[in-house]
Structure 1
Amino acid sequence: MLHLTETFAIAPQLRVLVTAGASGIGRAISDLLVACGAKVHVCDVSDSFLDDFRKDHPSAGATRADVSSEADMERLFAEVRGTLGGLDALVNNAGIAGPTGGIEEISPADWRRTLDICLTGQFLCTHHAVPLIKAAGGGAVINLSSAAGRFGYAFRTPYAAAKWGVIGLTQSLAKELGPDNIRVNAILPGIVEGPRMTGVIDARAKQLGVPYAEMEQTYLDRISLRRMVKADDVAATVVFLVSAAGRNISGQSIGVDGNVEAL
């Protein structure tokens, strides 16, 4: 039987790749993993965010890469093998908000870009990561979905469709990879404080012709706890899932959202 302190500890030098790990939720995840003793490699598309990450974590790996690019993913995983020597866990965090608009207004190019980054990017990363995690004897894959992955989301159909797809990917891979001792779970953040959510609320407010504050309150009124969550809340859940405490959790969609009731 594990002692409590062992249960909530992550393995020493756990090797983790965090996509979009130099900014936003991904940065919070990366920072906490490093603080807990993990060996971390991140990718991101912003040179400035990557520079800040490297300055704060000089021993960690960092690669400029777009998860929707097959060539970038080949290069990323070559670097991961070099810096980490293998892989124990993958955090599929990269994503974009996508367009806000009616279905007749959304361009096919914006639709494809949203799905390419939010869904196909998770496929590509997992495609490359699984052989490494199998070679390590098992581990964890954590996919970032959204509260939009369990609700319909009017006027944000590309994003919602991608995040529903992440749930299907998660549950399918949990069944497929369980015999190889690989746990696969999805985290569903809700209304997360930060510039992305500010942009989403602002776009919806402009579309409806209402003040930003009124639109923000509408979002908060649909959350049971009546507050936004923080990136650190999501990061803590990631650390829990890669720790010994999460060793029997797989195939789950875990809301970190204050209980969003509707979108």
Structure 2
Amino acid sequence: MSRVVITAGAAGIGRAMADAFAATGAEVWVTDIDAAALSTVPDGIRAAKVDVSNEDEMRGFFNELRKEWGGLDVLCANAGTKGPTALIEDVRLADWRACTGATLDGAFLSAKFAAPMMKAQKSGAMIFTSSTAGIFGYPNRAPYAAAKWAVIGLMKTAAMELGPFGIRANAILPGAVEGPRMEAVLEAEAAAKGMTRDQVYQGYAAGTSMRTFVEARDVAEMAVFLASDAARYVSGQAIAVDGHTENPDPKV
């Protein structure tokens, strides 16, 4: 039975991942900073309130995990935040740091504390949630795009360092994912660009070759695949689940 940790696993993509792994029979432990969302996690999935950007909290969580489980098979470093929607010159440093802290520092600390357990057992899979913003520049989203690019660099380095120990690392790049978080992005971009929410939505959809948004379950199913033996030699890859993004700047 696989032992799976998912950061930001109480809602959205993380919750879809938790449900998908649980459906395979895996033991699943999610972390989140949203206490209300954590209260909705179903029986059978463990839940802990943890700030992924806080090293002491992350160390404490992984120490508890080691005592309870003895090891870890799958890490889904999924935590992140959308950050501000503004031109570079209008982004406050505090907002930049909040976005990169949750998104990049959280991924780094997750890998930092998971790696020793996986190395000891000479096996494991790390799955990082990046974004199509990790392969394009995104106007008005500098902190988010920078953090998601960096997550891919972190993943590729982890794959090189950990591969000799039988550990794989990959990144999933979701595109526009239906749900509350994307709705917040749509509203913010509409306000910043003087457009309607529907115009921005259509711009995102038109920017993919399949003319569509994706759903959280599509991302979750890729995570399950990457953690499985079917992907036993897939490592160091940044794999988009996005309907093929062609244009990262939504227009009408």
Amino acid at match of 1:30: A
Give the CA deviation at 1:60.
Answer: 2.9
2:40 paired with 1:52:
yes
1:84 positional shift: 2.3
**What's the offset of the Cα at 1:61?**
2.1
CA shift for structure 1 position 211: 1.3
Distance in 2 separating the partners of 1:152 and 1:237: 24
| Matching residue of 1:34 | 22
* Structure-to-structure mapping, 1:228-239, within 5 angstroms: 228-239=213-224
> 5+ unaligned residues in a row in structure 1: which ranges?
1-12
**Post-superposition offset of 1:25:** 0.3
Following TM superposition, by how much is the alpha carbon of 1:79 offset from its aligned partner in structure 2, in angstroms? 2.3
Residue identity opposite 1:235 in structure 2: A
Q: Which amino acid aligns with 2:160?
A: K
Q: Which amino acid letter does the alignment assign opposite residue 164 of structure 1?
A: W
How far has the Cα of 1:69 moved from its partner? Answer: 0.4
Of 160, 169, 174, the residue aligned with 2:154 is: 169
CA distance in 1, matches of 2:201, 2:158: 36
- Aligned counterparts of 1:236 and 1:85: Cα–Cα separation in 2: 26
Q: Is structure 2 residue 232 aligned with structure 1 residue 247?
A: yes
When the two structures are superposed, what TM-score results if normalisation uses the length of structure 1?
0.92
The aligned runs of 1:158-197 (5 Å cut-off) are 158-197=143-182
Give the Cα–Cα distance (whole angstroms) in 2 for the partners of residues 27 and 229 of structure 1.
15
- Give the match's secondary structure for 2:170: strand
Give the Å deviation of 1:253. Answer: 0.4
Aligned pairs, how many?
248
Alpha-carbon deviations, 1:137-177, whole Å to 9, x = none?
A: 21100000000000000110000000000111111111111
Spell out structure 1 runs of 4+ moving beyond 2 A.
82-85
Q: Which amino acid aligns with 1:33?
A: F
**What corresponds to 1:211 in structure 2?**
196
Give the counterpart of 1:136 among 121, 133, 138: 121
SS in structure 2 opposite 1:43? Answer: strand
Query: Partners in 2 of 1:170 and 1:45 — Cα distance?
Result: 23
* Structure 2 residue ranges without an equivalent (≥5): none
Task: Check conservation: 1:61, 1:83, Cα contact below 8 A.
Answer: no
Q: Residue 125 of structure 2 aligns to a residue in which SS?
A: strand
CA–CA separation in structure 1 for the residues paired with 2:144 and 2:138: 8
TM-score, length basis structure 2: 0.96
Equivalent in 183, 208, 231 of residue 223 of structure 1: 208
Aligned-pair distance for 1:191? 0.3
The whole-number CA distance in structure 2 between the counterparts of 1:136 and 1:227 is 41
Which residue, 9, 12, 36 being the options, matches 1:24? 12
Q: What letter matches 1:205 in structure 2?
A: A
- How far apart are 1:71 and its partner, in Å? 1.3
Aligned to 1:84: 69
Shift of 1:123: 0.6
Deviation at 1:83, TM superposition (A): 3.2
